[in-house]
Structure 1
Amino acid sequence: MKTGMLSYKNLGGYGSVVQQKGKGGKANAILDYLNKTSLIILPAAFLLGRISLLGGLMPFGIALYAATLGLNINRIMISVAIFAGMLTTGATIQLYTAIVAMLLFNAINIPFKKSLGSPLRIGIIAFAGVLVPEMVLTYLQGFLMYDVIKSFINGFIIFALVFVFKNVLEVLGNPSRRYSLTNEEILSIAIACALAVGGLGSWSILGVSIRNILCIIIILVFSFKTGSGNGAAIGVIVGTVISISSNSSPLIIASYAFCGLLSGILRNMGKIGSCVGVLMGNALLTFYTNGSTEVLVFLYEIIVSIVIFMLIPEKAMDSVVAKFDKSLAARGDKKGYSLRIKEITVEKLNKFSQAFGEMARTFEEISETKAITEKHDITAIFDRVADRVCKDCSLCAHCWEQNFCNTYQVMFKIVEKLDGKGWIEQKDIPQYFLERCERVDEFVKAVNNVFELFKVDMVWRSKIGESRGLVSQQLKSMSTIISNLANELNTDISFKDELENQIVLELTKAGIKNADAVVYENKYGKYEMTLTYRGCGGKRSCISSVEKIISDIVGRKMVKEGSECGLNSKTNTCTIRLAEEEIFKVITGVARMAKEEKHVSGDNYTFLNTGDGKYIGALSDGMGTGHKACMQSKATVNLIEQFMESGFDKDTTVRLINSILVLRSTDDSFATIDISVVDLYEGEVEFCKVGAAPTYIKREEYVEIIKAASLPAGILSDVEVELIHKKVGSGDFVIMLSDGIIDAFKDCQDGVKEVQNLLQAMDSKNPQKIADDLLDAALSHCPRKEPVDDMMVLVSKIWRPK
């Protein structure tokens, strides 16, 4: 990644404090400077000055000195710290090389003093600055090829390390950057820390190597908190630096890497598991390579490291590791509480779905008892008639006890007559029963009365059974909705960590402070992101620049969702959502007219962008005209809008609306449903039609008719939903209309075909004009130019911005 020079103002104001202070405050300014920078950089410079490799090369201090060029850091103090470190190792010739190289470096940079140097230029100058004194020494020593190669190697190492130390100094100079580090910066910091630890050399306390202890602690911390992969990587870096900066065997690299790997694998056992992993890794690898039990790192050094590691609080380790491992910072703990909450939520939703499903089955079973109920209630007719007429009759015992079978046969014959005629007369009763019965007139009247009550009762029972079936459908729909929500929650969201880091880095470079980003890929494969940063005070000047920066990074056109400002005035932070810009746009025109002199139209419509790349147009025609039809269609349109915007699928939406219309009242409550859903990314349209008039797609060459045969919603308790898919392109029109438009062309042989011909003849590109012209054409075919029914035309133009 390209590394730019930090401007003076971006370095935390270390030097500006001194310049702004008066004479009386210079001591405080110097103390403030030392507290902020020297506490880290000066000790690091001293340790880096101590490291030597390849038989006497000491390039690390010179590279650090070169990397400080252009930064607000006292370079004299840095050079003194480097020289002091070199002197502690007894360096003489290397000290001469460093002094001359630094002087030449400053001299070559004099022409560029007023400009900030790029890492490439600084690296080249540093390479040239160190090569001159090295070649002079090589000449004095006989100009051996070995010395020439060693001199070039020294220069190349310094050239490469300039980029490493530049990354580290950039992070140190901008504290807010420490929470959005790139992979290059993390690697640079790891190398710099490992080099600084290597500078400790053979220093020891009571025979225990400080360098080895720090290396083991670093491996333990990172493997324990971030896993085996990062633990092994840290082990490789630490082992490599220790190996090349000391007389240690190269096997130390494998030892540290293997220790980090096993420590990370056993971290599920806690700190003790990670410690056992280090012990096992070092012992096993040493025994395998040497064939003995002598460890590469002394056992007592590992034990001391383990004791210190066990005493370090986990919060302290999290605060350090989270700066390098963003996934750990986002997770916040190693127990996965957020994952557990997700699992509990999904489990609860699935249980709710099962409960609604069971309730739906129960209502469905209850609603299917009509046949059994009818057989049972036929005998109830006999009991009621006998109770009303025969109970106090003197011949009751004769009819219902002595001649029970004959009486029941008569009653069944009477029921047959009732089923055919709906009532009975005396002539419908068998003659032998008439001759025996003393209350024939009362008997006929009672039978007719009870049967009438029975029919009313059966009608209401049928209504209740139908209502139970509709409730069953609604409960099934609710079960499906909750189940789909559980599945959606249970889907692993693909967060883009690398992209988040890059976005925060670029926003910070652009001067947008305290930036944070959350980027993920939705189920449609499109990027969505939430950005938080310090606000601009409501001026909205940041939106265009943020959209441009994000679009350049992602490689896709990203736009802000909604038009409102995301500023929180209390915290002065902005929170905005960005989504991929839709490929297609839709603009809609509407024309409608109520029947005759009525002020209210029975046709209603809606169109909206759901925000997930879908554009919905919907039209509903209520039964009849006037206020009642308007209320029916308005309720249907409102439900479509609410359900579709909430993410319900079209099948569930239509079934719920149908069941609501059926249950709404005892009166007939019918309404057509006509829905068109445009995919603004793919250019596809999905049509859902329930009792609706045909829809037309006007293309450049021809007009296509979309129609489906079905009854309006609210007539039948169950409705069949047919979905039709069509492809559209830029410049196409989707024309939805009510049946009042088609009915206006009754004088034509085929009204549907006539509308198609009219649309084919129109050459306007304005959807509102097409809607107006079609309505005017329909009116011109009506008697006395007055509409015979409510009329509505909804025209949506689909176009692709260039």
Structure 2
Amino acid sequence: MAAKETIRTRAARVSEEMRETGRLVLRAPILVRGAECAMRFLLGSILAGAGIFGNYAPFGLGMVAASGSGLDGFCALLGACMGYLLFQGFVEGLRYAAAAILIFSVAFAFYDIGAYRKVWFMPAAAALMNGITGFIYLSDRGWTAEHFIFFGTEVLLAGASAYFYRIAFSPWTENREEDALTIRQTVSLLILAGTVLLTLSKITLGGDLSIGRLAAALAVMVCAYEGGIGAGATVGVSTGIGMDLAAGGAPFYSMAYALSGVMAGVFHRQGRLCTALAYVLSNAVAVLWTWGNGARLSVLYEVFAASVLFLLLPERSLRQVRALLVREPRRDTVDKAREYARKRLEGTARAFRELHDSLRSRFDHSGGNDGDTAIIFDRAANRVCKTCPQQIMCWQRSYVDTYNALNDALPAMLERGRGEGSDFPLHFSSRCQRFAQFLSAANEELSALFYRRQYQNRLRESRGEVCRQYAELSAALGAAASELSAELSPDPLRERRLRQHFTAMGLEAEPAVYYDESGRLRIEIEGVGLQSLRRGEAVKRLAQLMDKPLRLVEECPPRHDRVVLAEREPFMAMAGVAARKKDGETVSGDTGAWFKQEDGSLFVLLCDGMGSGPSAHRESSEAVRLLEQFLRAGVPPEEALRTLSGALALQGEETGGFTTIDLMRVDLFTGAAAVYKYGAAPTYVKKGNTVQRITGSTLPAGLSPVQGAAPDVSRFSLEPGDCVLMVSDGVAGGEGDVWLRERLRSFQGESPKELARILIEEGQRRVGSGDDRTAILLRLERRTE
């Protein structure tokens, strides 16, 4: 058997150590196991004395069955045998000792069989062995209805106690990640404590003062004070039934303890003194109600002594009880997850709304009106009449006649689509020396007018459609902001553990623990007096409790009644940046930014506007601002870039500007990285002693013939010590970048900022100062804390 081999192996190891060292060395695990075995022995002996209905004692058998076949079970067996012989006498005790030996034998014999690990096996064995031995012993007395009922109850309690005792010890015997007690474990511990009180109720001081009943009264008082009416009534009924079973009489203690528990729970918010007074007076009333059947004045002494102990208990002990009785939150954690998803959708909706407003303001302030019909003859006159000898006569002295003649001809020309000589009055056409040339020029301008009108109408419709789509998308996202993301899921076990921790600290806080769409742990805590949780030591303690590294999330605007923690990334990034504007300019046309998202994504942006100076700076800074807002709102990078590219292309139709976009995303949880480019300069990735050059072929944003064209995407993985260099096209210019790659290859990670500065200065010596220059160097590192 495995258990037998384990004992032999350990004994052989101890013997070998004694031969080698000449002394017995007790290590910490041995001491712990010794304490566990001593506890099993003590509980086995105490529970053997927990009798009900006079002479029935099934609970010691339940402890033996719950302890199993190893050393724990053997110690429980010894304790149970000793307890049964002491409490039950030799004859009755021998019956239970035999049953206990049979139970341990079954566990030892069937240890290697799969059925042994089933939750029902040992409880069934305990009930069966108790039934066999009890049937043999009790058959000599003869069976009555009362004996049959009591014996059947004993058999059931033997199996039930084995089942609940095993659950009560499961937090210490099983390797579980959760250190918070479940409801079943808490109930099982209460059952174990209640059955121990059955034995303690037989131990008296001064004749009638029972230690067990005193402890039961104290337990009811404490639970009523910390848990209210429900906890007080539940514990009162449970302990009262146990005391009545031990006494073998009428259900007096059930009534007295339950009534006292309810009344103490009613006044639990008024403080300890009011709770204790309510309990004592309720017990006194219960004793008076049973005066005719013999007043049990000893109950009053026990309750009074328990109330004194209750008032003297330290607050720390009460907090531990409060942690066990803590209620589940009224508001489900799903509400927190829904709020998190709603905020993300609202941020995306605001980003699209701002883009819509930016485009509409640009389109509303477009160039002058180029579709007025009056310009037909103005442009024709500039082409034909400017060098005519009759210019002064027609356009100055006889201006009114000329103006009226052209106005009379215009309706027919617009209706027909071209002009004819008959459309003009005879006095005008006969007087004009270059009438044929003027009519031809007017027809050309009329055709151009129609083309411009058609183009403007199509452009206006296209712009209006784009703005409408952005507005509709913003409205749709805003309407969906209240929906819960299906990928967000709560963690009730860690949440209960955290709630118990706050209760033990005496902190009134309501935690919510769940996982975001990336599967990362997120904790939101609301309550009063949460400033202590913002300290580094408190965050570390919570991280140990959650078994996850955590970091404090700074919200904007900050709230004093709310603390948000998120799972901390295993990687961090060190960044260095250097920049220099073109000589003679007041500002640089390059704009860069970097920021980290709550999901552990690090974004680095570098945009280079067309040309240099204020206009280029305006284009690049607006591109960075809009792109950053999309990314912060949770829009995927490629989708955000396509949307921005389409918007810049529409703006470029009016202003003629463009900008290059270089975007890098690094996942600080996994090291996965990607570079997105719209016409940007190469990006350099250093891994060990090799440098990889990443380029793209897509045109800058605003120049692509297809609005919303996809960017160039390059994906790679970074490890601690790897570096990524992003530069604008003014650093290397057209002279080649061999020198730059050599500089990066020889970089040993001393200072990213210093290397960026060296690259800018050397680039100026090699290329000159004819363009803006920016360099951003990022190095990935592993967190050490």
Alpha-carbon shift at residue 590 of structure 1 (Å): 0.8
SS of corresponding position for 2:655 = coil
Q: Deviations over 1:437-460 (max 9, x none)?
A: 996455334323423433443443
Alpha-carbon shift at residue 535 of structure 1 (Å): 3.2
The reply to whether residue 713 of structure 1 matches residue 689 of structure 2 is no
- Deviates most, 669-678 or 545-554: 545-554
Alpha-carbon shift at residue 635 of structure 1 (Å): 1.2
How far, CA to CA, are the matches of 1:545 and 1:164 in structure 2? 37
Contact kept in structure 1, 2:579 and 2:773, CA below 8 Å: yes
Contact kept in structure 1, 2:81 and 2:93, CA below 8 Å: no
Partner amino acid, structure 2, of 1:134: L
Alpha-carbon shift at residue 711 of structure 1 (Å): 1.8
Q: Deviations over 1:318-359 (max 9, x none)?
A: xxxx99895673459xxx9x79x99x999x99xx99x99xx9
Alpha-carbon shift at residue 128 of structure 1 (Å): 5.6
Contact kept in structure 1, 2:602 and 2:668, CA below 8 Å: yes
Partner amino acid, structure 1, of 2:648: L
How far, CA to CA, are the matches of 1:442 and 1:132 in structure 2? 128
Contact kept in structure 2, 1:512 and 1:533, CA below 8 Å: no
Partner amino acid, structure 2, of 1:551: A
Determine the structure 1 residue equivalent to 2:449. 453
SS of corresponding position for 1:781 = helix
Provide closer, same or farther for how the CA distance between residues 136 and 634 of structure 1 changes in structure 2, counting only shifts above 3 A.
closer
Determine the structure 1 residue equivalent to 2:95. 146
Alpha-carbon shift at residue 690 of structure 1 (Å): 1.1
Determine the structure 1 residue equivalent to 2:763. 778
Q: Deviations over 1:80-101 (max 9, x none)?
A: xxxxxxxxxxxxxxxxxxxxxx
Determine the structure 1 residue equivalent to 2:781. 799
Provide closer, same or farther for how the CA distance between residues 144 and 467 of structure 1 changes in structure 2, counting only shifts above 3 A.
closer
How far, CA to CA, are the matches of 2:607 and 2:526 in structure 1? 42
**1:600-611 correspondence runs (5 A):** 600-611=587-598
Determine the structure 2 residue equivalent to 1:582. 569
Determine the structure 1 residue equivalent to 2:463. 467
User: Percent identity at matched positions?
Assistant: 19
Determine the structure 2 residue equivalent to 1:678. 666
**1:325-364 correspondence runs (5 A):** 329-331=330-332
Determine the structure 1 residue equivalent to 2:553. 561
User: Which of these residues, 593, 610, 618, is aligned with residue 623 of structure 1?
Assistant: 610
Partner amino acid, structure 2, of 1:57: A
How far, CA to CA, are the matches of 1:670 and 1:462 in structure 2? 22
Contact kept in structure 2, 1:559 and 1:578, CA below 8 Å: yes
**1:255-404 correspondence runs (5 A):** 329-331=330-332
Taking only aligned residues, the RMSD between alpha carbons, in angstroms, comes to 6.2
How far, CA to CA, are the matches of 1:678 and 1:497 in structure 2? 31
Partner amino acid, structure 1, of 2:443: V
How far, CA to CA, are the matches of 2:721 and 2:780 in structure 1? 6
Equivalenced residues, count: 502
Provide closer, same or farther for how the CA distance between residues 388 and 801 of structure 1 changes in structure 2, counting only shifts above 3 A.
same
The reply to whether residue 738 of structure 1 matches residue 759 of structure 2 is no
The reply to whether residue 134 of structure 1 matches residue 85 of structure 2 is yes
How far, CA to CA, are the matches of 2:601 and 2:447 in structure 1? 57
How far, CA to CA, are the matches of 1:502 and 1:659 in structure 2? 50
Alpha-carbon shift at residue 191 of structure 1 (Å): 7.8
How far, CA to CA, are the matches of 1:662 and 1:627 in structure 2? 20
SS of corresponding position for 2:674 = strand
Provide closer, same or farther for how the CA distance between residues 787 and 146 of structure 1 changes in structure 2, counting only shifts above 3 A.
same
- Deviates most, 685-694 or 473-482: 473-482
How far, CA to CA, are the matches of 2:754 and 2:459 in structure 1? 48
Contact kept in structure 2, 1:589 and 1:796, CA below 8 Å: yes
How far, CA to CA, are the matches of 1:566 and 1:58 in structure 2? 60
Determine the structure 2 residue equivalent to 1:649. 636
Q: Deviations over 1:30-73 (max 9, x none)?
A: xxxxxxxxxxxxxxxxxxx997169533879xx9xxxxxxxxxx
Determine the structure 2 residue equivalent to 1:548. 540
How far, CA to CA, are the matches of 1:499 and 1:582 in structure 2? 19
How far, CA to CA, are the matches of 2:78 and 2:503 in structure 1? 31
How far, CA to CA, are the matches of 1:133 and 1:167 in structure 2? 23
The reply to whether residue 790 of structure 1 matches residue 772 of structure 2 is yes
How far, CA to CA, are the matches of 1:729 and 1:760 in structure 2? 16
The reply to whether residue 535 of structure 1 matches residue 529 of structure 2 is yes
Determine the structure 2 residue equivalent to 1:756. 741
How far, CA to CA, are the matches of 1:499 and 1:631 in structure 2? 49
Determine the structure 1 residue equivalent to 2:691. 703
Partner amino acid, structure 2, of 1:796: L
Provide closer, same or farther for how the CA distance between residues 683 and 137 of structure 1 changes in structure 2, counting only shifts above 3 A.
closer
How far, CA to CA, are the matches of 1:611 and 1:635 in structure 2? 24
Contact kept in structure 1, 2:644 and 2:708, CA below 8 Å: no
How far, CA to CA, are the matches of 1:128 and 1:391 in structure 2? 121
Alpha-carbon shift at residue 167 of structure 1 (Å): 9.0
Contact kept in structure 1, 2:724 and 2:779, CA below 8 Å: yes
Contiguous gaps of at least 5 residues in structure 2: 1-48, 64-70, 102-129, 131-153, 170-179, 199-237, 249-322, 361-371, 381-402, 422-428
Alpha-carbon shift at residue 185 of structure 1 (Å): 1.4
Determine the structure 2 residue equivalent to 1:419. none
Partner amino acid, structure 1, of 2:674: E
Structure 1 runs, 4 residues or longer, greater than 6 Å off: 124-127, 150-154, 163-168, 190-197, 244-247, 322-325, 387-393, 563-567
Contact kept in structure 1, 2:81 and 2:96, CA below 8 Å: no
**1:418-433 correspondence runs (5 A):** none
Q: TM-score, normalised by structure 1?
A: 0.50
Contiguous gaps of at least 5 residues in structure 1: 1-48, 64-119, 169-178, 198-236, 248-321, 364-376, 401-406, 416-425, 427-433, 569-573
How far, CA to CA, are the matches of 2:194 and 2:94 in structure 1? 34
Provide closer, same or farther for how the CA distance between residues 793 and 476 of structure 1 changes in structure 2, counting only shifts above 3 A.
farther
